Homo-oligomer: A and B are copies of this chain.
Amino acid sequence: MGHDRPKRLSPEARKEALSVLSGWALVEGREAMSKRFVFRDFNEAFGWMSRVALLAEKLDHHPEWSNVYKTVVVTLSTHDAGGLTELDVRLARAMDAMAS
């Protein structure tokens, strides 16, 4: 898409990003972060997923996620960079904002 791919965050930058984000935690065994979102029902959960999907497509950066009725579990990582980048932080922030 002509964008520069972001670089992997340093351990310090990663720590700072996670301290600011609410409810996101590092995944065991890989450099990724995860959060469980719980909505009122499927309508709200999938409505939120649809808004996130539009943004993900625009950013050319996609979440790994699973949905069971009103719950969505999201994992973010930047495959190209082999770990967490600014793009993950940006998507996480947008997901939080859209869920609030």
CB proximity of A33 to chain B, nearest CB, Å: 15
Name the contact of A67 in the complex, choosing from B42, B43, B65, B68 (C-beta under 8 A): B65
Residue of B nearest to A67 (CB): B65
> Number of copies of this chain in the oligomer?
2
- In the bound complex, residues from chain B placing their C-beta under 8 Å from that of A46 are 50, 53, 57
Residues 43 to 65 of chain A near chain B (Cβ within 8 Å): 43, 46, 49-50, 53, 56-57, 62, 64-65
Q: Can you list 19 A-B contacts (CB < 8 A)?
A: A42-B53, A42-B56, A42-B57, A42-B62, A43-B57, A46-B50, A46-B53, A46-B57, A49-B49, A50-B50, A62-B68, A62-B69, A64-B66, A64-B67, A64-B68, A65-B66, A65-B67, A66-B66, A66-B67
